[in-house]
Amino acid sequence: MAGKLYIVPTPVGNLEDMSVRAVNVLKSVDAVLAEDTRTSGVLMKHFGIATPMHSHHKFNEHDALPAVMAQLEGGKTLALISDAGTPAISDPGFLLVRECRRQGIEVETLPGPTAFVPALVNSGLPCERFCFEGFLPQKKGRASKLAALCDEQRTMIFYESPMRLLKTLQQFAETFGADREASVSREISKVHNTTHNGTLQELVDYFTLNQPRGEIVIVVAGKEPEATVKVDKYAKFKNKFKIEDSE
């Protein structure tokens, strides 16, 4: 009988965000696949989890796949965790889940922490429709990716490192317009968690003077639909000339 793979989210900051169910799953499985066993070792020790861990990260996930699948096909139950948040969201996990689905191995993903959801809600920008872009290409393909997002009307979410934040905000201002609303959240769920809101130009000005630290989530408003723009222009025209609509 085939085994089962659990995808287990772990805290992005505060260890109290770890669910009771996540702890119980990590205690019950035969082994835990961890992005970094040293980082996850702190989490495991904190919750008294003694389950064996094996490295499973972006540099070895292709090579490790056959051995992991052999364990699952042999009846083992495994859990996959990343350093923080939900595996496969800008972290290793997709390849393993896809192969499990192809081979008929059961996969169960637990609900839990991920950095972009609180950043999106904190931004005050529309949440009903959004697109998650993760990390943009650092060099090749970056310009074309930004160009493709020029007409995106949904709220856009990006991950970025503190070293590249200012440059990215400047590129966003050039691409989307300096007056486009946005927010920058850092250190989600940690002691120094902060969110800065404003136009892209205001954020450029702020982070030019204030060097950021920690994990970064950028949320950018989508492009206004043309119909909305026309209505707004008409409203301004009516107000200027005090025109009233006929009933």
Within its chain, how far is the Cα of 202 from the centroid?
23
Give the tens place of pLDDT for each residue, 185-198: 999 998 889 999 99
The stretch 51-62 carries a mean pLDDT of: 93
Task: Provide the pLDDT for residue 243.
Answer: 57
Task: Provide the pLDDT for residue 123.
Answer: 96
- Angstrom CA distances, 128 to 66, 93, 117, 242, stand at 40, 26, 12, 35
CA distance 119 to 186: 8
Q: What is the mean pLDDT of the chain?
A: 92
The stretch 108-113 carries a mean pLDDT of: 95
The stretch 51-65 carries a mean pLDDT of: 93
Is residue 170 pLDDT above 50, yes or no?
Answer: yes
Give the tens place of pLDDT for each residue, 9-35: 999 989 999 999 999 999 999 999 999
Is residue 245 pLDDT above 50, yes or no?
Answer: yes
What's the predicted TM-score (pTM) here?
A: 0.85
> Residue holding tokens 């200027």?
240
Task: Provide the pLDDT for residue 2.
Answer: 85
Q: Which residue has the higher pLDDT, 236 or 148?
A: 148
DSSP string, the chain: ---EEEE--B-SS-GGGS-HHHHHHHHHSSEEEES-HHHHHHHHHHTT----EEE--TTTHHHHHHHHHHHHHTT-EEEEE-SSB-TTSSSS-HHHHHHHHHHT-EEEEPP---THHHHHHHHTS--SSEEEEEEPPSSTTHHHHHHHTTT--SEEEEEE-TTTHHHHHHHHHHHH-TT-EEEEEESTTSTT-EEEEEEHHHHHHHHHHS---S-EEEEEPPPPPHHHHHHHHHHHHHHHHT-----
User: Residues 40, 8: contact at Cβ < 8 Å?
Assistant: no
Is residue 247 pLDDT above 50, yes or no?
Answer: no
Task: Provide the pLDDT for residue 90.
Answer: 87
Give the tens place of pLDDT for each residue, 123-135: 999 999 999 999 9
Task: Provide the pLDDT for residue 229.
Answer: 53
Torsion (CA) 161, 162, 168, 172 in degrees, nearest 10: 100
Give the tens place of pLDDT for each residue, 207-241: 999 998 889 999 999 999 876 555 565 566 556 55
Strand 216-220 with 181-186, pairing: antiparallel
Longest Cα–Cα distance of the chain, Å, equals 77
> Residue holding tokens 């965000």?
17
CA distance 63 to 117: 32
Task: Provide the pLDDT for residue 191.
Answer: 87
The stretch 66-90 carries a mean pLDDT of: 95
CA distance 32 to 155: 35
